[in-house]
Structure 1
Amino acid sequence: MECSVIHRIQRLYYPFLAAFGIAVNVLAILILSRGKCGLSKCITHYLVGMAVADLLVVITDPILRWIAQLYISDSFLFITPVCCLLKSLRFAATVLSVWLTVAFTFDRFVAICCEKLKSKYCTEKKANVILGTVTALSCLQNIPWYFTAKPQYVIHNTPWHCITKGSFFSSLGWVAFDMIHLILTPYIPFFLILLFNSLTVRRILVTSRVRRGFHCRSHGDDYKDAEIDNRRKSIILLFSISGSFILLWAVRVVYPVYVRLTKTDPRFIIQQISSMLQLLSSCTNTCIYAVTQTKFREEVKNAVKYPLHVVLKLVKS
């Protein structure tokens, strides 16, 4: 009964998530790429990279996995070699999205807490190197997933669908691979994001207290510090993105531990909910930009108004 309810919810949830995810991530890529949001080129490159990674997650998971499984399970997508390839790409896209969030968090940590390293690390060139490296490592790390599945059945010499090989659960090598993958995504990123944010908050509180005390003595209580205002805006963006990641990935982080401690029926429900929340994280960043960044909101308004102006001109002509 509970499983059927979850399946009914998923049939509505994943198509909506796919449509919304593609729309907001494409919008973010187009707007951020224009470089008119008042953000540094370094930050812009990270945000564009994160939007591209999230778009890949939406394409490979909700669309090519869940929607295909729910609505077109007899398509070529479920021929075993294609199915295995999509499985590997799905893991790669997820790892890329997670680790780019870590890279962005670390970049902001360096910019705020490491003055000497800031000029060397927080640059457009370094951001491009980090983006390329993380992308390459994410692809290489997840190639083995292609070899973890076998055909569920064969029709007219064509292998169909993917089921996990028995050796994946019994072979020491595959068990080690699965454990390393779990540690790398999501446990280490989860810990690093919490760590960098904690250190960043501590640094900001100390610096702000010192600067506020100095300026109050020099200029009075009404003085506004532009540096503190800029840092506040940067921190709001950082904490919104990383906070959203932590909240939506929390169930996914706890679930593997829960599985190993219990074998009760709610495992299936928790697994499905954790997947749904995790995939939702690939659609939230654009909403965060719209809420926290004034210039981004202005660019969104311009993007919406432009086609309306074109239509009105065509009507008038």
Structure 2
Amino acid sequence: MLTANVVTIVILARGKCGLSRCIKLYLLNMAAADLLVLTFDVILYQLNELYFPESFLNYTVAHSLTFFLHFASIECSVWLTVAFTFDRFAAICFQTIRRKYCRQNTAIIFVTMIWGLSILQNLPIYFTFEPCFVIDNISWHCILKSSFYSVPLWVAFLWLDTVLLSFTPFLFILILNFLTIRHILFSNKIRMAMQSSNSDPEMEHRRKSIMLLLLISFSFILLWMVTFIHYICVQITEVQYLHTDNNDPFTIMERTGYMLQDLSSCINTFIYAISQMKFRERLKCIFRHFFVPFRKVFKYI
């Protein structure tokens, strides 16, 4: 999973993928955010818990910092997906503002704001944990404070986090995709009525452009659906986060949601490969260069 995101970043950073600077900037930052999600969750948390239980990364301070950076990376990845969806919506549906809005400078502003606000909004997460136990004056691991679900300030933060991380992005992506698809279908009907030939380069270009948008957006919705349902259950029931009872259905739902989140953070590479021919060509080129030394070795065996 990590390799997929690293390869994606390398290909996008080198360019030559047939994408505009604006789109490339969004996709590059989405891949970087996904890479951070996998790093903080899979490597620094899950693999560390499994194989290095006595590592310094299991100190309460390190655990809390890992959780904070993990959730900040997730929120950044989510809102970058929303920003990319809105950028494509504006470019396709509003040709009059396309030149003013869909530019690299505008994308830089939005990307910078998303990174900064994601870090600031998730900063309180660091203070929501307390040590699981203390050995020789050293605090190990962490659990949510018992006051997290009762103190009004923390309850308000939980609601804000749920709205910003799940409900609002879902709503934005669904609405923007619906409006974009409706606009494209309507425009295509008009162009087909005006032209006698079925071969239209503009319509083909629109199909390719919208394919990337829809694949990324709908994969995000599908892979985040379980987590979204679990967030709602936490708000309307007495279910809590980070339970350790593996037989509890809500614990299974929570961990399944986290697994699908990690899958969402690495699947974009396959989406690029499916929808973008030039990206596939660059990916094949990297694999060819990677296997050249091995072919030379086998040649002399």
Query: Is the structural similarity TM-score above 0.5?
Result: yes
Note the aligned Cα RMSD (angstroms): 1.8
Which position in structure 2 is the counterpart of 1:288? 271
Supply the distance in 1 between the matched residues of 2:137 and 2:248 (Cα, whole angstroms): 37
Supply the distance in 1 between the matched residues of 2:4 and 2:248 (Cα, whole angstroms): 36
1:228-239 → structure 2 map (5 Å cutoff): 228-239=203-214
SS of 2:142 mapped into structure 1: strand
**1:32 CA drift (Å):** 1.1
Percent identity between the aligned chains? 46
In structure 2, relative to structure 1, the CA distance for the partners of 1:150 and 1:258 (3 Å cut) is closer
Aligned counterpart in structure 2 of residue 275 of structure 1, from 244, 249, 258: 258
Which position in structure 1 is the counterpart of 2:135? 155
Aligned counterpart in structure 1 of residue 201 of structure 2, from 222, 226, 229: 226
SS of 1:73 mapped into structure 2: coil
Which of 71-80 and 304-313 deviates more? 304-313
SS of 2:221 mapped into structure 1: helix
**1:128 CA drift (Å):** 1.3
Q: Does 1:41 align with 2:21?
A: yes
Q: Residues 141-179 of structure 1: CA distance to partner in whole angstroms, max 9, x if unpaired?
A: 111011111112222221111111112111100000011
Alignment-mate amino acid for residue 82 of structure 1: A
Runs of 4+ in 1 over 3 A off after TM superposition: 261-265, 310-317
**1:265 CA drift (Å):** 3.7
Alignment-mate amino acid for residue 266 of structure 2: C
Q: Does 1:110 align with 2:93?
A: no
Supply the distance in 1 between the matched residues of 2:294 and 2:260 (Cα, whole angstroms): 38
Q: Residues 181-203 of structure 1: CA distance to partner in whole angstroms, max 9, x if unpaired?
A: 00000110011000100000010
Alignment-mate amino acid for residue 268 of structure 2: N
SS of 1:179 mapped into structure 2: helix
Supply the distance in 2 between the matched residues of 1:190 and 1:114 (Cα, whole angstroms): 22
**1:107 CA drift (Å):** 0.4
Which position in structure 1 is the counterpart of 2:243? none
Q: Does 1:176 align with 2:156?
A: yes
1:93-172 → structure 2 map (5 Å cutoff): 93-172=73-152
Which of 68-77 and 252-261 deviates more? 252-261
Supply the distance in 2 between the matched residues of 1:310 and 1:272 (Cα, whole angstroms): 41
Which position in structure 1 is the counterpart of 2:219? 244
Give the TM-score of the pair, scaled to structure 1: 0.88
SS of 1:142 mapped into structure 2: helix
Give the TM-score of the pair, scaled to structure 2: 0.92
Aligned counterpart in structure 2 of residue 302 of structure 1, from 272, 276, 285: 285
Supply the distance in 2 between the matched residues of 1:232 and 1:306 (Cα, whole angstroms): 32
Alignment-mate amino acid for residue 67 of structure 1: L
Supply the distance in 1 between the matched residues of 2:272 and 2:93 (Cα, whole angstroms): 23
SS of 2:160 mapped into structure 1: helix
Which position in structure 2 is the counterpart of 1:199? 179
1:206-217 → structure 2 map (5 Å cutoff): 206-216=186-196
Supply the distance in 2 between the matched residues of 1:257 and 1:141 (Cα, whole angstroms): 20
What number of residue pairs does the alignment pair up?
292
Supply the distance in 1 between the matched residues of 2:146 and 2:291 (Cα, whole angstroms): 57
Supply the distance in 1 between the matched residues of 2:114 and 2:231 (Cα, whole angstroms): 25
**1:70 CA drift (Å):** 2.1
